[in-house]
Chain A
Amino acid sequence: MQNRTEGFEDFVAGHAAALLRLAYLLTGDRGHAEDLLQDALERAYRHWPRVVAADRPDAYVRRVLIHAVTDRFRRRRYAEVQLTSYADRATVDITGDIDLRDSLVRGLRALPLGQRTVVVLRHCLDLSEAETAEMVGCSVGTVKSQTSRGLARLRELLGDVDSTTPQPILRSSL
């Protein structure tokens, strides 16, 4: 057993934080992000020899995480799709960066899941279209169209991001 999971702890130490941030971007919810990370890591742990045999173990686990989000979104019966949670929302901070970050996170959450996923992978994680397609399990064409729709929608929602002025739509409920 010791051998079978060798390297798992190092992997977690090296990659858990990045995976957690990805989970947060995909869900916009801290609690869900933590659950998803644990879920994805447990799946990876279960099949650790295969994970370490992959070209990029981190990409492998990232993909597991992405599908865990989709799974959760669809299959969990209740309370898993927190489209509405403000529980972990930071209190209003007028300083620019935090405000911008919150606006972006909320903007992402307002996107349909498919668009959100490809936008996060392409633009937050800087993956190529091909890498994104492989990770999501769809065609490059779908990645292109979903990304461009997602970005257009984000622009619509956020307006210009050059200003630290709070965005009326996104702040209306705070």
Chain B
Amino acid sequence: MKDIESALRSLPDSIDLEPRPDLIASVRRTHRHRSLRRRSAVAGVALATLGIVTVPTMLRNDDGGTVNPGASQGAQGAVDGTVTKQSLDAALAALATSPGAGEPRPTGTFAYTHSRTRYLAMTGAGGGNDASQPSPSDVPTENAEKSPSAGAETLLPDQQQVSFTYLYGTERHIWLDKLSGGHLVSKPLAPKFLNPGDDAIYRKAIGEEHGMDLALDNGGQPVNVPNLSFDASALPSDPAAMRQYLQDVPSGVDDVNERVFTAAADLVREHILPHKVRSTILRALLLVPDVSVVEGVADLDGRAGIGIGRIERGTTLRQLILDAEGTVLGERDSVAVAGEFGPVGTVIGHTAVLEAGFVDKVGDTPSGRPIAISSQGAGKEMR
């Protein structure tokens, strides 16, 4: 008689799978295309299923976020409500030459960032697989509460065309040092559901989220954190050259403007960069024709700032949010054309950088509030 445990133990050996013969070659090929780590983070949503939609000629202002009016000061040179690419560019140019700019990254210390994120996750069918036809009674309707019977004893994920969307949230603390690697502590926030009833499906399919507490090496990390394996001082110092550089970052994206936006966001996200470098990256973004700026965009923490944004793939407004000093407060993704994820303005990605600075060791923060690190993941195996 076999019990479950022994059946599980012999399971791997019973699986008749062999790696493809061209595995090594294709790893090398992929590697060549990824010289700079590309994060999909608040990446806009590629809605192939939506088909062609009209691209609005003007960016819409936000109508979904909580805006804290007191927090919006506007960038230097920008007048409330009338910030333009030109005025923002001038403010950022001034920032690059302001005292204290160009500070080098201290070595032997950790760049710490604390952020809160909400990203879109979607499960379910759609990969073009020829799924078996489930019986109609087993198929949850779009609003799953209409068919509670689909829960109970029926296997949910494996046998039905399940599709649900939610925003999963994390509170992230990252310490990174170019030389010694670093650490990530990530705690789950309660998920937000775009459709009523999806919470029940979520509980079945995903269940308990337990967060992460991991030692990181520098970029060989198993999770998405910034890549430090580039030399910020070697980046182009001129916005036009920077734009070209960003455009050439390999990413597999066809749209040139999207490549620039994505590469720029990857560089400024959860990074502490010298003012001059950050300024040049943001000014390069302003050179992109379909990028627009607008004031009063709220980050996940409710702080309002200037949004540098573009509509990606005709469907999603992606915005980087800056404060008056040109510091990146966070990012915001919202529905630009009503569709699968709801009406225009529905937030489908949102982040806020809450604290950033240099500290001496993992667990320290600039504000002095220590963050508990599990001893398990601390540096073991990575060095």
Contact = CB atoms under 8 A, between A and B. Distances in A.
Interface of A: 8-9, 12, 16-18, 20-22, 24-25, 28, 30, 33-34, 37-39, 41-47, 50-51, 53-56, 59-60, 63-64, 66-68, 70-71, 73-87, 89, 97-98, 100-101, 104-106, 109-115, 119-120, 123-126, 130, 133-134, 136-139, 142, 146, 151, 154-155, 157-158, 160-162, 169-170, 172-174
Interface string B23-39: 11011101100100000
Given A45-B31, A112-B205, A162-B1, A97 B14 contact: yes
Contacts of B4: 123, 151, 154-155, 158, 161
B14 A86 contact: no
Interface string B201-214: 00011111111111
Contacts of A55: 381
User: Which secondary structure dominates chain A's binding surface?
Assistant: helix
Interface in B210-235: 210-214, 217-220, 222-224
Nearest to B134: A173
B2 A112 contact: no
Interface string B89-127: 000000000000000000000000000000111111111
Given A133-B376, A139-B374, A17 B19 contact: yes
B19 A77 contact: no
Interface string B356-383: 0000000000000000001011001111
Nearest to A86: B132
B122 A45 contact: no
A68 B14 CA distance: 24
Interface in B27-65: 27-28, 30-31, 34, 40-41, 43, 45-46, 48-49
A90 to B, nearest CB: 9
B18 interface: yes
Contacts of B9: 123-124, 126
Contacts of A136: 210
Q: Which 6 A-B pairs have the closest CB atoms?
A: A47-B220, A112-B207, A67-B222, A79-B127, A83-B157, A123-B8
A9 B25 CA distance: 10
A45 B28 contact: yes
B46 A78 contact: yes
Residue from A38, A80, A142, A158 whose CB has the most chain B CB atoms within 10 Å:
A38
A74 B121 contact: yes
B19 A20 contact: yes
Q: Point out which of B156, B161, B214, B220 has the most chain A C-beta atoms below 10 A from its C-beta.
A: B220
Contacts of B15: 21, 24-25, 101
A75 B41 contact: yes
Contact of A138 (B27, B121, B212): B212
Given A17-B19, A21-B12, A42-B31, A84 B157 contact: yes
B289 interface: no
A31 to B, nearest CB: 8
Contacts of B219: 46-47
Nearest to A68: B222
6 contacts: A17-B17, A38-B27, A53-B383, A82-B129, A98-B14, A114-B210
B241 interface: no
A77 B224 CA distance: 15
A77 B40 contact: yes
B2 A161 contact: yes
Contacts of B254: none
A146 B121 contact: no
A97 to B, nearest CB: 6
Contacts of B126: 78-79
Contact of A77 (B1, B11, B122, B129): B122
Interface string B136-167: 00100000000000000111111111100000
Given A25-B15, A113-B207, A161-B3, 7 more contacts: A33-B17, A79-B128, A100-B2, A110-B156, A111-B207, A112-B208, A137-B213
Nearest to A133: B376
B157 A110 contact: yes
B255 interface: no
Interface string B328-354: 000000000000000000000000000
Given A77-B45, A112-B206, A151-B4, A43 B130 contact: no
